[in-house]
Structure 1
């Protein structure tokens, strides 16, 4: 069954009991902005009082406690209207990545009728207000990293991608293109780590072409395709004003990566009592070997830590996330995004695995 998901909620950060409250909610492939304006609730003292109480709870900013229930209370009067406005989830177009990236979007507002909240549709977002994901591919910030990949990889529009599963936050994860399953990674505009990741995948592709045996035995996530959309196609379902300027452009909106059927991350699985020492030893060796293969190809893993190792259902340890950066406790800051940092991270992962083992796991000791 489709679920309501509150993506975010805003209110006055400086304490103001008459603060407006806005919920950004997803339901069934549609996006909703739910607006509570305190001034519009004054006709019902009981509703205004409830608004004040819910704001006070939100102001405490405890997302795992009462704040979550307060947000649900604010959303509840709008659920029936959202169900009426959301598209039919059974249509093929509703299951495409296109519908997730560019959902029909509505502004709803709270009014008062007979001492209860009366939801009202205020507007559908216009073309000018629509926020488009991704980065223009001709931008100087991305062109130098994207151009080498674009010549080697298949490119698809989001209309060609079918969503098979999504995260608890309703972000598409497992997708299908041409009968092949991939992991979908959204491209986040301005994210520096994204450029680092593109550079790493470009080196992996170049190395695999030049020396196919170099990375053949490496258990790593790989880039298989790019999802690129045209603005004029994305926005064609919005009414264009006669005096509106056209904004055709080409945007990178996501990456198609290896989909790894997995049991969980190394961090999740290694501590469990039903995980045997032989498993931990094999994973340690595979991590070492895969990092050595990457280094031979001139690629830095970057953020070496157990959370960035997936344990596949085949029992193997796969390295993921080549976006760079580092995590304290696993890689020192002065070694971030370097091969020395990778080796340090691998060594510390092996030592961490030792903690959960009856006897030390077999691993390659690196000279840091």
Structure 2
């Protein structure tokens, strides 16, 4: 894990040398927004010139240049970020709640005595600024959530322990009451999320009506919903107050009262599949046997058949959405729908016909890999 992780860097898309440049950084369990504002650098010509050069480099959209600019702009703030962060010890197990709602700070580059000096502007205590997930009041949830909540348990993120995260510091492998799950964060406004809820609802209904209907399907299943109460989130942020809080720009960045109270879906607890990798990654290599490829082909076809019998469409059928478990079996993942060019035609996406088209192309890949496997070069499985 990087000590300072760059989430993103933002600047004005329409060419403007005086655009504000903002870095979003994670460090030691805290979230930071670092602002470089041209008008606040204007009193130091060399600082303003460097700001203009940074903007030009970002505007060129070169990833290598972007990373160099981000590192240069971040460096002066490292000591201040380390001082403000809660300093989470390496290897410690944290709650999902602490990942989702880290203490958040806004920092700013200022000019003092002819040099750039990092300064603390304010804490971010408005839950709306960083709160993940989506309000349950959204009408899009109504067809699915009541049914799902009656079939799986609902948990607070405080009860979930994070065992591992992605390279982007998004929690992935989590634990609840000694059981390991995969955490899938809920992203607001993403249509495929509702498609996935609908698919899991149908899977649960089918399994409830006939426990044998999907018992042999190798699929990722829904085990719980993670829902946080707004009041709990607000209370969490009110804890983080700092005496050096600045009154500057208080209208923009200081606390705001919010009379809304409710709950938010922040993620799903899914089957955690101990895996070797995706079929896309593993299938082409010569150390993968044809016996394995034949078994995977059969398992995928039978799983898709079981899903269709339950009224469920897999959706984005492709080898990248098949995980090869450490038990050697092929598991279908991602019921969020959509399609991938070259696997399923756009006009057939999220249909049984589209699944069958994707399935055919998966089987063609397996046959091709069986006939012309790539020489094994020590790829870690």
TM-score normalised per structure 1 = 0.92
Distance 1:49 1:273 in 2: 55
Could you tell me which of 323, 329, 334 is aligned with 1:316? 329
Report the secondary structure of 1:345's partner residue: helix
Q: Check if 1:19 corresponds to 2:19.
A: yes
8 Å Cα contact 1:88-1:94 kept in structure 2: no
Deviates more, 1:258-267 or 1:206-215: 206-215
State the superposition RMSD in angstroms: 2.3
Instruction: Quickly say closer, same or farther: Cα 1:243–1:352, change in 2 above 3 A.
Output: closer
Q: Check if 1:50 corresponds to 2:63.
A: no
Instruction: Quickly say closer, same or farther: Cα 1:94–1:269, change in 2 above 3 A.
Output: closer
Q: Which residue of 1 aligns with 2:340?
A: 327
* CA deviation after TM superposition for structure 1 residue 19, in Å: 2.0
Distance 2:198 2:208 in 1: 16
Distance 2:77 2:269 in 1: 35
* CA deviation after TM superposition for structure 1 residue 172, in Å: 0.6
Distance 1:42 1:159 in 2: 45
Q: Which residue of 1 aligns with 2:41?
A: 41
Q: Which residue of 2 aligns with 1:180?
A: 179
Distance 1:275 1:6 in 2: 37
Structure 1 gaps, min length 5: 361-368
After superposing on structure 2, the runs of 4+ consecutive aligned residues of structure 1 that deviate more than 4 Å are 91-94, 240-243
Q: Which residue of 2 aligns with 1:162?
A: 161
Distance 1:243 1:235 in 2: 11
Instruction: Quickly say closer, same or farther: Cα 1:321–1:243, change in 2 above 3 A.
Output: closer
Equivalent residues in 2 for 1:34-183, closer than 5 Å: 34-63=34-63, 65-90=64-89, 95-127=94-126, 130-183=129-182
Q: Which residue of 1 aligns with 2:244?
A: none
8 Å Cα contact 1:127-1:235 kept in structure 2: yes
Deviates more, 1:22-31 or 1:350-359: 350-359
* CA deviation after TM superposition for structure 1 residue 86, in Å: 1.2
Distance 1:245 1:223 in 2: 33
Q: Which residue of 1 aligns with 2:198?
A: 199
8 Å Cα contact 1:2-1:28 kept in structure 2: no
Distance 1:4 1:347 in 2: 44
Q: Which residue of 1 aligns with 2:207?
A: 208
Q: Deviations over 1:140-164 (max 9, x none)?
A: 2102111100001111101001111
Q: Deviations over 1:337-356 (max 9, x none)?
A: 11111111101111122222
* CA deviation after TM superposition for structure 1 residue 109, in Å: 0.2
* CA deviation after TM superposition for structure 1 residue 95, in Å: 0.9
8 Å Cα contact 1:29-1:94 kept in structure 2: no
Deviates more, 1:17-26 or 1:256-265: 17-26
Deviates more, 1:239-248 or 1:220-229: 239-248
* CA deviation after TM superposition for structure 1 residue 43, in Å: 3.3
* CA deviation after TM superposition for structure 1 residue 129, in Å: 5.3
Distance 2:255 2:124 in 1: 17
Distance 1:21 1:128 in 2: 23
Could you tell me which of 256, 260, 282 is aligned with 1:269? 282
8 Å Cα contact 2:103-2:237 kept in structure 1: no
Q: Which residue of 2 aligns with 1:7?
A: 7
Deviates more, 1:65-74 or 1:110-119: 110-119
Q: Deviations over 1:304-357 (max 9, x none)?
A: 011111111111111000011111111112211111111111011111222221
Q: Which residue of 1 aligns with 2:379?
A: none
Instruction: Quickly say closer, same or farther: Cα 1:286–1:86, change in 2 above 3 A.
Output: same
TM-score normalised per structure 2 = 0.89
Q: Which residue of 2 aligns with 1:351?
A: 364
Instruction: Quickly say closer, same or farther: Cα 1:242–1:137, change in 2 above 3 A.
Output: closer
* CA deviation after TM superposition for structure 1 residue 108, in Å: 0.2
Q: Check if 1:248 corresponds to 2:261.
A: yes
